Amino acid sequence: MKKTTRPLLLILIFILSIIFFNAGNLSDKTLEKNTSSTYNIKALKIPNSLSFAGEKVPTELNDIKERMDRELLVNTYWQSNGLLLIKRAHKYFPLIEPLLKKYGIPDDFKYLAVAESGLENNSSPAGAAGFWHFLKSSAKEYGLEVNQNVDERYNLEKATKVAAEYLKKSKKRFGTWTLAAASYNAGNARIARNLKKQQVTNYYDLLLNSETSRYVFRIVALKEVLSNPRKYGFEFEEDDLYNLPDIKTVKVDTVITNIASFAKKFKTNYKELKLNNAWLRENKLNNKSRKLYKIKIPNSN
């Protein structure tokens, strides 16, 4: 190769490399998509008619509107959790609703159970347990059996009755269901102390700690989203929702020495029996007092 042609060849290679490099960048930019082309995060319009247990949420007040907006946004855009709550509500609300009606508690309080436990028989870091998240001391005060062998905080029917008793006492003391709900989180004494200190009579006029300040707004947001799931973007079919199993109830007033063996007698197993009777905490039922218990058995027939 002649010396005069070599520099020209190098220049040509350099120019071609620039062209191909820029073409690659252009191709990448052409393929790039903005997030908004596939996923829109929209501001929410706060409904004017929000209420809890028949008591209006005063969203015309700026700070109330902002606090309500926060909880609606959180519960709308935490989509996985929201869809799980919708599915569980379909399973458990048919149990909770007639119990609340029976004990004279407004239906909206089923959303308090959602706020407390997510409709799971779980426990909090503070040791509150069951759907209604009772502490041991409170549960025992209201007559629930709580020990290593039996923990009736995990018995939905019995715990709902106790929750109703607590809420009715709070309503009688404070005059509104909204303050009764707030007291479920903060305790009656703390709510009473803050009402007196701040010289107000309304939950929405109180300045409280962060958790209790958000508590009622969270319940109202859950009510709004779970009552109108499609309005907030949740899409599902009927068969996507959870359902309770068909069960029968067996009354027991004796000792059960082995839960697994007991389950086999009814053509079920340890896992299924414990899932339907979370209040049984061990692989036995001591029952020294010969108390009458109702055990739910999955119906295999």
Reported as a pLDDT band with limits 50, 70 and 90, residue 41 is: confident
pLDDT tens by residue, 265-290 = 999 999 999 999 999 999 999 999 99
Reported as a pLDDT band with limits 50, 70 and 90, residue 40 is: confident
For residue 180, what is the domain's CATH number?
1.10.530.10
Residue 15 lies in a domain: no
Q: What does the pLDDT read at residue 26?
A: 47
Q: Does 61 share its domain with 179? A: yes
pLDDT tens by residue, 45-67 = 999 999 999 999 999 999 999 99
pLDDT tens by residue, 231-249 = 999 999 999 999 999 999 9
Mean predicted lDDT score pLDDT of the chain: 92
Reported as a pLDDT band with limits 50, 70 and 90, residue 301 is: low
Q: Does 141 share its domain with 261? A: no
Residue 167 lies in a domain: yes
Of all residues in the chain, what percent carry a pLDDT higher than 90? 85
Position with higher pLDDT, 12 vs 226: 226
Reported as a pLDDT band with limits 50, 70 and 90, residue 32 is: low
> Residue 23: is its pLDDT beyond 70?
no
Residue 12 lies in a domain: no
> Residue 190: is its pLDDT beyond 50?
yes
Residue the block writes with tokens 């295999």? 300
Return the HEC string of 208-224.
CCHHHHHHHHHHHHHHH
Q: Does 121 share its domain with 217? A: yes
Q: Does 184 share its domain with 253? A: no
Stretch among 12-16, 205-209, 220-224, 260-264 having the lowest mean pLDDT:
12-16
What does the pLDDT average to over 258-269?
97
Of all residues in the chain, what percent carry a pLDDT higher than 70? 87
Global pTM? Answer: 0.87
Q: Read off the amino acid at residue 38.
A: T
Q: Does 112 share its domain with 208? A: yes
Reported as a pLDDT band with limits 50, 70 and 90, residue 4 is: low
Residue 30 lies in a domain: no
Stretch among 22-31, 105-114, 120-129, 281-290 having the lowest mean pLDDT:
22-31
> Residue 134: is its pLDDT beyond 60?
yes
Q: Does 88 share its domain with 185? A: yes
Q: How many whole angstroms separate alpha carbon 95 and alpha carbon 272?
A: 19
Which of 141, 157, 205, 199 minimizes the C-alpha distance to 179? Answer: 205
Q: How many whole angstroms separate alpha carbon 227 and alpha carbon 232?
A: 10
Write out the residue range of the structural domain in which residue 227 sits: 51-240
Residue 279 lies in a domain: yes
Residue 1 lies in a domain: no
Q: Read off the amino acid at residue 132.
A: W
Reported as a pLDDT band with limits 50, 70 and 90, residue 39 is: confident
> Residue 37: is its pLDDT beyond 80?
no
What does the pLDDT average to over 116-145?
97
